[in-house]
């Protein structure tokens, strides 16, 4: 068991903003163990994870123009390792935007349906799925702008980075959009999670593994 002292964040702080707290108060505390490309395991601390989140947030803030009174929705139609995917998703939230992860196992017509329903402003795609994106958008009634998924080598580059301005998204507004499995209906149903609901779920999972 890891015995290093841990400073708990404020219980009402949005999940993505809790990482900023951890960088200041728990910087060398281990967060996740993840394999590198050569198969060796690396322990990532908050001093590794949080700068990567900030790089992602800065990427989205520089790539997506935000109109007054609107919140961009960034859909994910991508495959990636779990660490990169999670950090990029947190980067969307840290930028004050709404994340909409879509299962890459869905067929193009189902993904197109979800895009038509949610109407994301942008959709993230990695190189492996680029051949599918034209087909997905052609099937959709709505055409989001396409962004290249940030890669591990970029977000964990270790170079200098800037800390994005803290967003002011209210806790009762939508931060995350998920979907059902689609096993009980023709198309999956979308489900909106507020920052407050997302926080409650994160705290519940945390207690299970404490």
What would the pLDDT profile of 98-107 be if each residue is shown by its tens digit? 999 999 999 9
- The pLDDT, as a whole number, for residue 2 is 53
Tell me which residue range forms the domain holding 99: 15-153+167-208
Tell me what pLDDT residue 206 has.
56
Structural domain includes residue 47:
yes
Judge whether 134 lies within some domain.
Answer: yes
pLDDT digits (tens, 9 = 90+) for 14-45: 999 999 999 999 999 999 998 887 889 999 99
Q: Tell whether 160 is covered by a domain.
A: no
- 114 occurs within a structural domain: yes
Please give the tally of structural domains in the chain: 1
Q: Tell whether 188 is covered by a domain.
A: yes
The answer to whether position 193 is within a domain reads yes
Proportion of the chain in helix, strand, coil states, percent, rounded to 5: 40, 20, 40
4: in domain: no
For residue 49, being part of any structural domain is answered with: yes
CATH of the domain at 47: 3.40.50.12780
Residues of the chain under the 50 pLDDT cut: 1, 208-210
Which contacts qualify for 172-177: CB closer than 8 Å, 24 or more apart?
172/196, 173/71, 174/71, 174/98, 175/14, 175/93, 175/98, 175/99, 176/93, 176/98, 176/99, 176/100, 177/73, 177/98, 177/99, 177/100, 177/118
């Amino acid at each position: 068991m890891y015995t290093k002292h841990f400073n708990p964040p404020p219980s009402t702080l949005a999940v993505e903003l809790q990482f900023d707290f951890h960088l200041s108060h728990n910087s060398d505390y281990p967060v996740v163990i993840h394999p590198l490309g050569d198969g060796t395991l690396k322990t990532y601390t908050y001093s590794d994870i949080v700068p990567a989140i900030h790089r992602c947030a800065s990427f989205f803030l520089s790539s997506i123009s935000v109109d007054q009174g609107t919140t961009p929705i960034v859909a994910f139609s991508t495959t990636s390792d779990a660490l990169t995917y999670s950090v990029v998703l947190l980067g969307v939230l840290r930028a004050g935007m709404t994340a909409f992860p879509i299962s890459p196992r869905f067929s193009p017509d189902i993904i197109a349906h979800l895009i038509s329903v949610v109407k994301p402003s942008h959709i993230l795609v990695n190189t492996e799925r680029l051949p599918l994106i034209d087909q997905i958008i052609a099937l959709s009634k709505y055409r989001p702008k396409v962004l290249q998924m940030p890669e591990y080598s970029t977000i964990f580059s270790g170079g200098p980075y800037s800390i994005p301005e803290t967003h002011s998204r209210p806790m009762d507004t939508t931060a995350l959009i998920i979907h059902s499995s689609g096993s009980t209906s023709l198309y999956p149903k979308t489900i909106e999670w507020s920052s407050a609901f997302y926080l409650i779920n994160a705290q519940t999972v945390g207690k299970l593994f404490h």
